[in-house]
Amino acid sequence: MLLSSFKLANLGLRFMLELCALTVYGYWGFKIGGPMVMKWILAFLIPFVIATIWGIFGSPKASIQLSGSAHFLLEIFIFLTPVVLLLSQGKVKLAWIYGIIVVINKILLYVWEQ
- Torsion region of 62: left, alpha or beta (phi above 0 gives left; psi -120 to 50 gives alpha): beta
State the total domains in the chain.
Answer: 1
Give the domain range for residue 96.
2-111
Number of alpha carbons in the 13 Å side-chain half-sphere of residue 15: 6
Residue 63 backbone dihedrals phi, psi, to 5 degrees: -75, -25
Amino acid at 30: F
What's the farthest any 2 CA atoms get from each other in the chain? 53
Q: Please count the helices (runs of H) and the strands (runs of E) in the chain.
A: 4, 0
Q: What is the pLDDT of residue 104?
A: 98
**Residue ranges in the chain modelled with pLDDT below 70:** none
Q: What is the pLDDT of residue 51?
A: 98
